[in-house]
Amino acid sequence: MKLELQVKDIISKSILTPAKGALEGFSHSLNPYAGCAFGCKYCYVRQLPVSLYREEEWGTWVDIKTNAAALLRKELIKARKKGPVTLFMSSSTDPYQPIEFKTKLTRSLLEVMLEDLPDFLFVQARSPLVKRDVDLFKQFGNRIRVSMTIETDKEEIRKAFSPSAPPIPARMKAIQEITEAGIPTQATIAPLLPCSKEFPKKLKQIANRVVLDDFWMGDGSRGKRTEKLEIRKIYERMGMEKWYNPHAYKVVLKMLQEELGHVELLVSQKGFQPGEQ
């Protein structure tokens, strides 16, 4: 049974966090919310302090950082004094999860950025709601990339690993519309989940580039974090153990190389860098 989502307004002390680890190419990460209603089973944030020191289960709570826009206005000025400002939004929440329909908090952050344009903004989402803000994305010119996570093309697989996240066809349609609006985009297969042979073809028309990552390259611990989350059991339950393997991505990579043609293809961390590659 799905637990009811606990939503709370909070006052945050800061909004820009110095980027590190896999995001070290960026100056800061930016999370408008704490917690995430999508609650993906493989989400590595489950093992970070923000989740560990909380009684409620990851995926059942969201804190709204109500003062995020005011903080951002101030912190952007400070950050700019120290060098280029390259933002990753978001690293430990989805900036376009359902509560964003009502709060428009992420949208308000984009509006603040447009007053004082950062050198680069990377928007990472799993939700079709992201297309609502196309009008604002357009004003960033080439200082933005919008990335949609599309881990698989199979709905039954998506439902096994992230039952509360939006359906894959809706995500594909949304990123295609954003691409067609002339905004730099990315279809992000991360983490790679079992998929069909048609997956590369489906991705070809919908984004300017495709990025492939898996648990072993992308979880920051060569797969140990994923092992602790017992993701292996989901593969076993579904009889898909052969996909739970650090070499499985190579098969999909080859298919993507053969299919994508002019569409740029990057692997793991190279697909999460600010600016033109």
Nearest distance from C-beta of residue 32 to ligand SF4, angstroms: 12
Report d(CA 7, CA 277) in Å as an integer: 38
Nearest distance from C-beta of residue 94 to ligand SF4, angstroms: 4
User: Cα Rg for the chain, rounded, in angstroms?
Assistant: 18
Q: Which one, 97 or 176, has the nearer CB to ligand SF4?
A: 97
Binding track, positions 74-113, relative to ligand SF4; x by CB under 6 A = ------------------xxx-------------------
Considering the rule CB under 6 A, would residue 38 count as an interface residue with ligand SF4?
A: yes
Beta bridge partners of 18: 28
Considering the rule CB under 6 A, would residue 43 count as an interface residue with ligand SF4?
A: yes
Report d(CA 262, CA 259) in Å as an integer: 9
For residue 95, cis peptide bond before it (omega within 30 degrees of 0): no
Nearest distance from C-beta of residue 274 to ligand SF4, angstroms: 19
> What region, left, alpha or beta, does residue 234 occupy, with left being phi > 0 and alpha being psi -120 to 50 degrees?
alpha
Angle at 131 between CA 159 and CA 8, to 5 degrees: 70
Q: Binding segment for ligand SF4 among 39-47, 67-75, 171-179, 224-232 (CB under 6 A)?
A: 39-47
Look up tokens 């933005």; give the residue: 144
Nearest distance from C-beta of residue 58 to ligand SF4, angstroms: 7
Considering the rule CB under 6 A, would residue 36 count as an interface residue with ligand SF4?
A: yes
Look up tokens 């060569």; give the residue: 222
Interface residue with ligand SF4 among 23, 32, 39, 95 (CB under 6 A) is: 39
Instruction: Kindly list the residues in this chain that would bind ligand SF4 in the complex (CB under 6 A).
Output: 36, 38-40, 43, 45, 92-94, 126
